[in-house]
Amino acid sequence: MKGKKCRVAVFASGTGTNLQALIDASMNDDYMAKIELVVSDKDGIMAIDRAKKHGIDYRVIPYSNEDDGKLTAKQTINVLKEHKIDLIVLAGYMRILHSDLIKSYNGKIINIHPSLIPLYCGKGFYGDRVHRTVLEDKCEYSGVTIHFVDEGVDTGDVIYQQRVKIDDGETVESLKAKIHKLEHMSLVKVVDEEARKLL
């Protein structure tokens, strides 16, 4: 349908630079995804400031241990339905999604991870630890992976990967910056492609 765009919710727990890349891209008329909602498990983070600045609706849904997160999942599903969300993008969201949520949006949840999955992923591999371990292991390459979310941690089908060369004298900071830049470009591209498939 002309003018129709895929309605996207971005889940974030931190600075939200990937969210910002998506917001910037979606300002282009040809971009097929529209960021309708930002969901976070905590308040006072930059990702929420970005949502506010751009007039994007946001919800802080703190994780509750009750029923192993079943209640949190229910609240989240309700908010997603309210906003008629078609696609969920996890971009630095630090919680594992409950299976009820995954089942409700099967094949419509994607995650971005700053390494070449299956390397340096899974429980405990987030933030600087990913890059530090890559450097300790003297890898020649690292990179970015975007994948569908299933009930495991970083185990869903890979949609897109791109590698970066590790230079002599590379540090955690320099590698992180290089990968972050690549993440932004990769996520913008993949979200547009997935949005087109869902329309």
Phi and psi at residue 164, to the nearest 5°: -125, 145
Q: Which is nearer to ligand GRF, 82 or 176 (CB)?
A: 176
Q: Is 180 a catalytic residue?
A: no
Q: Quickly list DSSP for the chain.
A: -TT--EEEEEE-SS--HHHHHHHHHHTSTT--EEEEEEEESSSS-HHHHHHHHTT-EEEE-----GGGGHHHHHHHHHHHHHTT--EEEESS--SPPPHHHHHHTTT-EEEEESS-TTSS-STT--THHHHHHHHHTT-SEEEEEEEE--SSSS-SPEEEEEEEEPPTT--HHHHHHHHHHHHHHHHHHHHHHHHHHH-
- Among 114, 173, 164, residue whose Cα is nearest residue 144: 114
Q: Which stretch in 56-64, 79-87, 109-117, 152-160 sits in contact with ligand GRF by CB under 6 A? A: 109-117
List 22, 38, 51, 91, residue binding ligand GRF (CB under 6 A): 91
Applying CB under 6 A, which of residues 36, 86, 183, 194 lies at the interface with ligand GRF?
183
92 belongs to the binding site for ligand GRF (CB under 6 A): yes
Q: Scan residues 117-136 and list those touching ligand GRF (CB under 6 A).
A: none
Report the nearest approach of ligand GRF to the CB of residue 194 (Å).
17
Which candidate in 54, 83, 98, 113 is catalytic? 113
Residue 15, classified by CB atoms within 10 Å of its CB into exposed (0-12), middle (13-18) or buried (19+), is: middle
Among 16, 69, 143, 156, binds ligand GRF (CB under 6 A): 16
Taking CB under 6 A as the binding criterion, the range among 7-15, 34-42, 50-58, 190-198 that sits at the site for ligand GRF is: 7-15
Nearer to ligand GRF, 73 or 187 (CB): 187
x/- string (CB under 6 A) for ligand GRF, residues 20-59? ----------------------------------------
10, 11, 18, 26: which one contacts ligand GRF (CB under 6 A)? 18
Site residues, ligand GRF (CB under 6 A): 12, 14-19, 91-92, 112-114, 183
Instruction: List the catalytic residues.
Output: 113
